[in-house]
Structure 1
């Protein structure tokens, strides 16, 4: 469970940006870029993990090189029901390995769900399981990704020009 968010200085912002672009760099390479020793870089990374700033480390695959991958963005509206039904829907999504991202959003839709499937038949099965079989889904629509122009998961650590 994350502790309180740590105060971040300029080096932290720079280091977090570097880690988001390529966490495979060595501590020495990172230290050379941010002008710290490898041990100082490690202490900062350990602090980010301790405070939950770094949630986990993963390898991102480029969907351009995986021609069988079908990416889809699903827009979902739920029936206005109890929070218990909302939690059941979220759990259904969280339990599905095909679900890459889930956003509870404002506006005409309640959720944006990003799916990664191994082709159209797989997508059809997943959509049926997640949305058609869910008792509280009022409607959904699917937008198929034709060209994954940018698939970065990098987040800003501060406002621009600060």
Structure 2
């Protein structure tokens, strides 16, 4: 089965939905120069094809009481399937972990954790992260200021057939 190719209208739909997933279909259709029915079909197809993962509401971490972002480098004792699987399955259960990436280079994982304060982070370390078997090294860095945060992917860098 051939991979679905995004065209320029699909890309425009995705760009708009990335900035406001609550936009009414009629307004979306107008902005991409389609009538509502074909626009709705395209959005449905983009969901079905896996281009749209989900639609969410982004919250202001500080306003909801989670102002502390911590970036954590984790090195495992051994990069073997058993330890990797155990680590990944464990951190999947922790709501504080916003992002986790398997990395190349000097450490194995990079996590972004949000907590209300330093004491909460200390509890996260003591009661959760340091309890995971197979971890060799943990290095934490605290974010002083968020300079840039985006959720929108730069679709203008993706070639689309016209």
Contact 2:98 2:113 in 1 (8 A): yes
- RMSD over equivalenced CA pairs, Å: 2.2
Task: Give the Cα separation in 2 of the matches to 1:4 and 1:99.
Answer: 36
Paired residue secondary structure (2:69): strand
Task: Give the Cα separation in 2 of the matches to 1:4 and 1:47.
Answer: 15
Match of 2:147 in 1: 149
Paired residue secondary structure (2:92): helix
Correspondences of 1:55-134 after superposition (within 5 Å): 55-66=53-64, 68-134=66-132
Structure 1: tracts of 5 or more residues without a match: none
Structure 2: tracts of 5 or more residues without a match: none
Number of equivalences: 160
Contact 1:4 1:51 in 2 (8 A): no
**Higher CA-based Rg:** 2
4+ residue stretches of structure 1 with deviation over 4 A?
Answer: none
Q: Residue deviations 1:88-128, cap 9 Å, x none?
A: 10011111111111111111111111111122222222223
In structure 2, the CA distance between the partners of 1:121 and 1:83, relative to structure 1 (3 Å rule), is same
